[in-house]
Structure 1
Amino acid sequence: MDFCRTAKVALLAITITPTSGHSQTTTAMLNQLADRFVDQQLQYDPTLTYTSGLPTHDHSRFADRSPKALSVHDQEEREDLKALLTLPIARLAQPDRATYSNLRERLESDLQLRVCRTELWDVNHFDGWQSEFAEVAERQPAGSAEERKQALQRWGSMPQYLDVEIANLRLGLTQGYSAPQSVVRRVIQQMDALAVANPEQSVFYSPAKRSGDAAFQNAFRQLILNQINPALKSYRDFLQTEYLPKAREGVAISDLPNGAACYQAFLRSSTTLERTPQEIFDLGQKTVRENVAEIEKIGEAKYQSTDLPTIVAKIKSSSVEHFQSKDDLLGFSQQLLQRAKDVTARQLITRMPQQDVVIRPLSAFEEDAGVGSRFQGQPDSRQAAVFLIRLDDWHTETRSDAEINTVHEAVPGHYLQKALARELQPPTRLSKLIDNDAYTEGWARYAETMGEEAKIYDTEDADVMRRLWPARGMVVDPGLHVFHWTRQQAVDYIVSSGHFSADAANDYVDRMAVMPGQLTSYDSGGLEIKALRAESQERLGALFDLRHFNQAVLEEGVVPLGELRAHLKAWMADQLLHK
């Protein structure tokens, strides 16, 4: 089945033909448009430099989230898209095809999302401004006098940034927009954790901590004490006293104005496809049934039972599956990471990235708010990327779960994909900026499968635990946002997978509340990569080499799923041509 039949971006019958003077002119115009887009993004938000590696001389401010600035930014993207659609792209060759696909997908997705008016209800515990600012603080340069000056300017503007956030949220309340109360409570808890009495313990103190300049350190301490902490408290008090009583009780995006159109836009943004919620829901249910059937076969052979709850209970009650402490979980994951690197290098890829990856604990303020483990990229390949692991669930986490988590977030998952793409993909400025969950999370889900195939997992129960959760996000996310599931229905469905506790399920519901559609991206992408691999194996037969297939998937970098299919179709044809 062609899982990308409805994708727009690579669907313009872009053919791969020899370049000509005409196509070279088109390429020049395309690259000019792409560079203009990148310049606009960095102008709007210079902090993008820290995740993309794109250079900027401006380290003095955050993004401007005022209505006027957002309107100007929207108009720029409308003009960019209009210009892009006038290009004669019929003869674009790779890598220009990837540039065109990525730029069009990003512009169309951004503009489609504007129906959501997210700035009017952006209270977000999972990846809100507070988490982004903590990461910015870690990467804010402070080596020179000019950089220290700009650091003080940026962080001195944080109170004004929060004033704009409050104004946007107040405006949202007047127009029927609000965040869920459950999420607001989580963010209030984060604000309490962030406004620490000792400035040197603040997550925002990192620029001063990395500087040997005593005057700068003192100025930053005073800035946190006298400006940042009061601003955090003011934002927290606004949420507690004014916003929370008016926030919505439910979490479904359908509760907001234009909710149906907004959810469709989020689905497009997350999956790069134009699937309906019903199509995603149905595909998710089908895939879940297939996974459960496989678990039943494994359970009958291993545990003499085909009942999923019984199988999971036997696994979770096994003493060998559990950790003794946070350090035990951390050490186990670090050992698994090394084994995953060794196996991946031998069996799954033609070359490993030059950049390394390490595991570090997630910050306390994120753990306390229910934020899960995540990968944190590092654009400077001389520094290691980081798998930030949540350790406070060590007493309920199984060793199988820890293995799958490490494979997903690090090797051969997110780290391998992102680090290797930086070395293989076309070296355009746009490629450093573009990201989409369908590709990145899809690869990581596919990596979980390879972890089993390549015997990276060392626990005997990973084959069951790996199949518990996949594709359920495709069911519960539209169920909650479109099909009017209650919060309890969503929690019960998540718990019924056997993978999560009720507390973890509640964390997931609030994650879906602030990131609608995102949970559908994992298996939208993972199923597509698996389908392309099966098609490649069938077409190439004995010529098929998994390591070279994986490299072909990764070599364009992050692209929409439609472009990925077009690229791999061309790769298959090339393999047959040169056999």
Structure 2
Amino acid sequence: MDFSLNATAALLAMMIASANGHCQTTVVKLNKLADRFVDQQLQYDPTLSYSTGLPTRDHSRFRDRSPKALSMHDQEEREDLKALLALPIARLTQPDRVTYANLRERLESDLQLRVCRTELWNVNHFDGWQSELAEVAERQPVGSAEERKQALQRWGSMPEYLNVEIANLRLGLARGYSAPQSIVRRVIRQMDDLATMNPEQSVFYSPAKRSADATFQNAFRQLILNNINPALKSYRDFLQADYLPKAREGIAISDLPNGAVCYQAFLRSSTTLERTPQQIFDLGRKTVRENVAEIAKIGEAKYQSADLPTIVARIKSSPAEHFRSKEDLLGFSQQFLQRAKDMTAGKLITRMLQQDVVIRPLSAFEENAGVGSRFQGQPDPSKPAIFLIKLGDWQTETRSDAEIITVHEAVPGHYLQKTLARELQASTRLSKLIDNDAYAEGWARYAEAMGDEAKIYDTEDASVMRRLWPARGMVVDPGLHAFHWTRQEAVDYMVSSGHFSADAANDYVDRIAVMPGQLSSYDSGGLEIKALRTEAQLKLGARFDLRRFNRAVLDEGVVPLGELRAHLEAWIAEELSHE
């Protein structure tokens, strides 16, 4: 009897030890795969180091977008995904589950997107190579002689980089791929500015500005004057003479080869969900109707009208809602940012951040091309993150709009989410690299609503203004790309929201053209966080604590929405267990 019990106990111990051993082996393999993936990304594009904080010694080149390099990169990702899917994952703990979920989502999304052949129609005014390289210039290290040598090598290769871009675009035209003509015209205007700048005014001159080495400064100046500017002009001339006449007139990505499959891949990449264009379109329209109904209630109480255009007109006609100059808009936003920080710390989160955030004007060449305000992270915590604000619309922008965008881009929006995630997480190399719009933009949209709930907004009309645009991106994005809305139909739909002028709506149509699916991410994520919060409130009742819930949303950092739901459902169960 004793022998039997002892044997059973020994067998059970062996089984547990074996299971633990298998789990540990899986974790080791998973982490090696994640590190290999990061190494591959940095090898392909060493400039990723500047936005992620991942270290690299290679500051001498840009990413290689030649067909051969892209093919090799694709093969590496296929091999990575095959190895990842072979891992037994049932017993993974929460941090390892996050690694698995993020790596799988990224690999599957990347490989699905290859059907789009984006390198063959890569003309992009919004976040194209010109914006990326301008940011690289600002962060190019020049502190040592070796770094300055590598800087000259990298920026000396820019003509070849643009030659590859031109070759890809020529191949795209031959195979039926092109960017819309409206986008090409915007990029030509950008090139007109960039190619004619004096070296000291060039957006690529930052390395020389940040060095006290006179020899390096002169060499870099000559590089811009004799190499970079002529290459920019050649690229511009190619677009004007050869590309524009053959570019497509329409916006829809479904007009390209494999366009419908490509758009589905973009939706997956943006939302991390397997939703069809029709499902996103229908959910967007339902949410818009709900927002309009809420605005009508506010309008009846405040303006004695439930008519959306009447309500918006009353708000926008108020002199108190408008700015006197660009400087007035900038100063107002900077002052409001401090209020948002104070209110967020007191009401919405369990701890505030160590890293600061500042507001700076968007660069002229981006703003002139219709680029909007955006958040720019800073991986070095000793330096502030940046909210780059668009100031050109100061005459039409309201104070409510300025508050809402500051909440979205800074606090409690992108800056809070991205910076707090880095400070909370047990940082891994993969977590520094991974991002997805459904989570990041979803949080920022959710933050807009919290700004209302927590009375962060200091203008009384923000409750109306913040409801004008949400979920309309889920309608107009598939409307254009999947259901063949015309440009005018899309403009009319956006203008009817009361949020956009016709000019601003046209800018957004071209943003949708170069970033298919991206506008569907904001409310796909925001609605999911809202649904999870409602579920937590119903189950926890009086014990629900908003600050603890927000901390739980942010705990894992950027994750696919499926993993976010799994994490928060486990958090709710844990909270219930504390009875």
Question: TM-score by structure 2 length?
Answer: 0.96
For 1:198-250, what per-residue CA distance to the aligned partner results, in whole angstroms no more than 9, with x for missing partners? 20110100001000000000000000000000000000000000000000000
For 1:328-353, what per-residue CA distance to the aligned partner results, in whole angstroms no more than 9, with x for missing partners? 00011011100000000010000111
Structure 2 residue aligned with 1:179: 179
Offset, 1:25: 1.1
Structure 1 residue aligned with 2:521: 521
Q: Name structure 1 gaps, 5 residues minimum.
A: 1-17
Structure 1 residue aligned with 2:572: 572
For 1:362-404, what per-residue CA distance to the aligned partner results, in whole angstroms no more than 9, with x for missing partners? 0000010000000000010110000000001000000000000
If you compute each CA radius of gyration, which structure gives the higher value, 1 or 2? 2
Offset, 1:194: 1.0
Distance in 1 (alpha carbons) for counterparts of 2:23 and 2:287: 42
Distance in 2 (alpha carbons) for counterparts of 1:455 and 1:347: 10
Distance in 2 (alpha carbons) for counterparts of 1:381 and 1:291: 38
Alignment of 1:563 onto 2:563: yes
The residue type paired with residue 243 of structure 2 is: Y
Structure 2 residue aligned with 1:480: 480
The residue type paired with residue 411 of structure 2 is: V
Distance in 1 (alpha carbons) for counterparts of 2:195 and 2:407: 35
Structure 1 residue aligned with 2:377: 377
Query: CA 1:422 to 1:365, structure 2 compared with 1: closer, same or farther past 3 Å?
Result: same
Alignment of 1:285 onto 2:285: yes
Alignment of 1:200 onto 2:200: yes
Task: Tell me, yes or no, if the aligned pair for 1:426 and 1:556 is still in contact at 8 Å.
Answer: no
What number of residue pairs does the alignment pair up?
562
For 1:34-88, what per-residue CA distance to the aligned partner results, in whole angstroms no more than 9, with x for missing partners? 0000000000000000110000000000000000000000000000000000000
Distance in 2 (alpha carbons) for counterparts of 1:71 and 1:426: 34
Distance in 1 (alpha carbons) for counterparts of 2:431 and 2:202: 34
Query: CA 1:328 to 1:197, structure 2 compared with 1: closer, same or farther past 3 Å?
Result: closer
Distance in 1 (alpha carbons) for counterparts of 2:43 and 2:510: 32
Distance in 2 (alpha carbons) for counterparts of 1:121 and 1:427: 36
The residue type paired with residue 208 of structure 2 is: A
Structure 2 residue aligned with 1:544: 544
Query: CA 1:559 to 1:397, structure 2 compared with 1: closer, same or farther past 3 Å?
Result: same
Task: Tell me, yes or no, if the aligned pair for 1:361 and 1:389 is still in contact at 8 Å.
Answer: yes
Task: Tell me, yes or no, if the aligned pair for 1:19 and 1:93 is still in contact at 8 Å.
Answer: no
Offset, 1:180: 0.3
Q: CA RMSD in A?
A: 0.8
For 1:144-165, what per-residue CA distance to the aligned partner results, in whole angstroms no more than 9, with x for missing partners? 0000000000000000000000
The residue type paired with residue 304 of structure 1 is: Q
Structure 2 residue aligned with 1:263: 263
Distance in 2 (alpha carbons) for counterparts of 1:283 and 1:556: 27
Offset, 1:540: 1.0
Alignment of 1:314 onto 2:311: no
Distance in 2 (alpha carbons) for counterparts of 1:540 and 1:92: 27
Structure 1 residue aligned with 2:241: 241
Mean CA deviation greater in 539-548 or 448-457:
539-548
* SS of aligned partner of 1:387: strand
Structure 2 residue aligned with 1:440: 440
- 1:48-447 matches, cutoff 5 A: 48-447=48-447
For 1:174-203, what per-residue CA distance to the aligned partner results, in whole angstroms no more than 9, with x for missing partners? 000000000000000111111234201101
* SS of aligned partner of 2:82: helix
Task: Tell me, yes or no, if the aligned pair for 1:19 and 1:92 is still in contact at 8 Å.
Answer: no
Q: Name structure 2 gaps, 5 residues minimum.
A: 1-17
Distance in 2 (alpha carbons) for counterparts of 1:505 and 1:530: 27
For 1:419-457, what per-residue CA distance to the aligned partner results, in whole angstroms no more than 9, with x for missing partners? 000011231100000000000000000000000000000
Distance in 2 (alpha carbons) for counterparts of 1:317 and 1:20: 67
The residue type paired with residue 354 of structure 2 is: Q
Identical amino acids, percent of aligned pairs: 85
Question: TM-score by structure 1 length?
Answer: 0.96
* SS of aligned partner of 2:360: strand
Distance in 2 (alpha carbons) for counterparts of 1:534 and 1:399: 30
Distance in 1 (alpha carbons) for counterparts of 2:291 and 2:273: 23
